[in-house]
Structure 1
Amino acid sequence: MTTSKSCMYRLGLVSIALMSAFLMPQAASAQDDQPTGGSFVDNFEHLDTSRWYVSDGWNNGPHQNCTWARKQVGIKDGALQLQFVQSKTGERNYACGEIQTTKRYGYGTYEARYRTATGPGLNSAFFTYIGPTDKKPHDEIDFEVLGKNSGQVQVNQYISAKGGNEKLAPVPGGADKGFNDYAFVWEKDRLRYYVNGKLVQEVTDPSKIPTNPQKIFFSLWGTDTLSGWMGKFAYSGEPATMEIKRVAFTVPGEKCLFPESITCKLD
């Protein structure tokens, strides 16, 4: 993803600050000046609304061809499902799903096991973000699978709204064909990205490592305009689904919150 395109998406997040007073007043007041969250594992046996806020009723800007809709977020077959469907919702002809944590999280290990959606023009994302909507600089750490090529995932990070740190890493077998494990270990002086336990990117330049605690997001969205980055959008006629089996955060100094955790293998 180019910096300008990613900025367009994130600026969409920023733009909702102007609407937050009436679109999500509870979330905004709950997030202001919250202490950093602690370790957790969520296997999505149910949707814990004390941990997760469901985006509902807006879009992130003209590049996004769907409206966030609560109806597109649910638990089924032991997984959290985010869907993208053709359904007139708000200003868009499609509806899509996103969740974000109610708390911010800092240095530590972030892990998720999920299967991405299929289809060009779609983005299945696991990322952390903080920004002007939370009265903080824009910091971010990303895993994004673009439907035009589900055989790879793009990792990236933003520091005070400056990106340009993209790298593509292979996802053997295809990110949309089965469940894969994505993780990053965020430290003050080092940021490491892993796919299925394999190190795919290591960042040691302090100027390219975020410093502000962030909220954890999962989102599935589409575009009619960013075809160079995400592929030419073509709706298949059937809902597209991103499925998340597990997400975990482990604070520094703790290990092995679950047997498959990458923290069990790292020093």
Structure 2
Amino acid sequence: MLSDFDSPKPAETMTTAAVEVTVPDDVSDSQPVAPAIPPSSPVPATPAPTPSHTLIPPAKTRPTLPSAPGFITLLGDTLNDAFFYRSEYSNPTGHYGGDWSRDNIGQTAEGADLDVRRHPSRSGPYTGGEMKTLKTYGYGRYEVVMRPAKGSGLVSSFFTYTGAYEGNPHDEIDIEFLGLDTSRIHFNYFRNGKTGESATFDLPFDAAEADHLYAFEWAPEGITWYVDGEPYYKTVEGDAYLPTTPGSVIFNAWTGKPFMSAWHGKPTFESGAAAHYSCVSFSPMGEETRACSDLFLPRRPSTSHALTAQLSQQPTP
């Protein structure tokens, strides 16, 4: 069981601002909706150019994970092949309904468009778009500004992942949208291939109509998911399914093999439907770094230490 939050109030209109993108120089090879308590009020942002996110300071006795440094990337400025891998490979097994193709990743001044096309491939009758970091990341805050693709059969995701291909157990933390109904958001997580308590929430908007900020904060004590700076969901203390292995940051747009239709809907989407990603960032636990929320939220969100303390548990309907 997980602890849930009150249904957050509709988010304020977001604004964007230009910022110099900082990318590390070195590169390695490589469902239920239920209310509980109101979120804390955000703290007004200051105009200072210093980083504005301070995650829970790690105590000496708290577990740590290896992690690459924090980063922020504005995808309208660069797709940066020295930092992100634009996937180009087949998916003959598993749930994806086609190959990943670099041709399905386009760039505009506003960000990256990852589209899904009705195009025969080695893995099925479709192709999708995916980008992933070359480095891996541990405890900290992960943020994305995005608009999911709309249309039955489509899935738009932002997540961390590691697995057998990297010689690791399957650990994962997800934010997902189904194009069948983009007014809902889905959260999930895995440890060693076993999923924890997934959750689905109704949003006060259609996510496919405008950019919004989505995030999750991963700490040794648990994971908290956010929408436009407001906490939506948190794992309970002692959850046995919390991931423990650093993973790549991945975002993609895809449709699945026929057996996936019961979940994401029949693939009746228009070919070329795209998920749009404007900003991706990671702030390591206990460090202050620039983040997407500094640019896309009018007010600074509070840290999870205040937001998630002593949450009540409520039965789901």
Matched, 1:160 2:159: no
3-state SS, counterpart of residue 144 of structure 2: strand
Q: 2:265 is matched by which residue type in structure 1?
A: G
2:72 is aligned with 1:41: yes
Q: Is the 8 A contact 1:147 1:230 kept in 2?
A: yes
Gaps of 5+ in 1: 1-28
- Cα distance per residue 1:116-162 (max 9 Å; x no partner): 00111111000100111000111000001011111111101001111
Where do residues 145-156 of structure 1 align in structure 2 (5 Å cutoff)? 145-156=177-188
Secondary structure of the corresponding residue to residue 225 of structure 1:
helix
Q: Which residue identity is paired with 1:97?
A: G
Cross-structure match for 1:254: 287
TM superposition outliers: structure 1 runs of 4+ over 3 Å: 260-264
Provide the residue aligned with 1:212 in structure 2: 245
CA distance in 2, matches of 1:164, 1:264: 26
Residue 240 (structure 1) aligned with residue 239 (structure 2): no
TM-score by length of 2: 0.70
What residue in structure 1 maps to residue 314 of structure 2?
A: none
Residue 232 of structure 2 is matched in structure 1 by 200
Q: Which amino acid aligns with 2:161?
A: Y
Q: Answer yes or no: is the 8 Å Cα contact 2:92–2:122 preserved in 1.
A: no
Give the alignment's TM-score, normalised by structure 1: 0.82
Distance in 1, Cα, partners of 2:166 & 2:300? 30
* Structure with the bigger percentage of helix: 1
Tell me if 1:110 matches 2:142: yes
Distance 2:248 2:254 in 1: 18
Q: Secondary structure at the match of 1:126?
A: strand
Sort the Cα spacing of 1:63 and 1:252 in 2 relative to 1 into closer, same or farther, 3 A.
Answer: closer
Structure 2 CA distance for partners of 1:133 and 1:263, relative to 1, 3 Å:
farther
CA distance in 2, matches of 1:106, 1:184: 12
Asked whether the 8 Å contact 1:255–1:264 carries over to 2, the reply is no
1:88 aligns with 2:120: yes
Q: Secondary structure at the match of 1:92?
A: coil
Partners of 1:75 and 1:231 in 2: CA distance: 28
Computed over aligned residues only, the root mean square deviation of the Cα atoms, in angstroms, reads 1.9
Q: Which has the larger radius of gyration?
A: 2
Q: Deviations over 1:42-100 (max 9, x none)?
A: 01111111211111131263643221101011211320110111222334322210111
Maintained 8 Å contact 2:196/2:242: no
CA–CA separation in structure 2 for the residues paired with 1:205 and 1:121: 35
Deviations 1:143-196 (A, max 9, x none): 010111111111010011110421002232112111111101100112111111
Letter aligned with residue 192 of structure 2: S
Cα distance in 1 between the residues matched to 2:301 and 2:201:
23
Q: Residues 79 and 221 of structure 1: is their aligned pair in 2 closer, same or farther, counting only changes over 3 Å? A: same
Partner AA of 2:276 in structure 1: E
What is the one-letter code of the residue matched to 1:57? Y
Does the aligned pair in 2 maintain the 1:140–1:210 contact within 8 Å? Answer: yes
Change (3 A) 1:263 1:157: farther
2: distance between equivalents of 1:75 and 1:263?
28
2:159–2:172 contact (8 Å) kept in structure 1: yes
Query: Offset of 1:263 from its aligned partner?
Result: 7.2
Q: Which runs of 5+ in 2 are unaligned?
A: 1-27, 31-65, 306-317
Q: Retained in 1: the 8 A contact 2:154–2:269? A: no
Select the structure with the greater relative contact order (CA < 8 A; seq sep ≥ 6).
2
The answer as to 2:174 corresponding to 1:142 is: yes
- Over the matched positions of the two proteins, sequence identity in percent amounts to 29
Structure 1 residue 30 corresponds to structure 2 residue 64: no
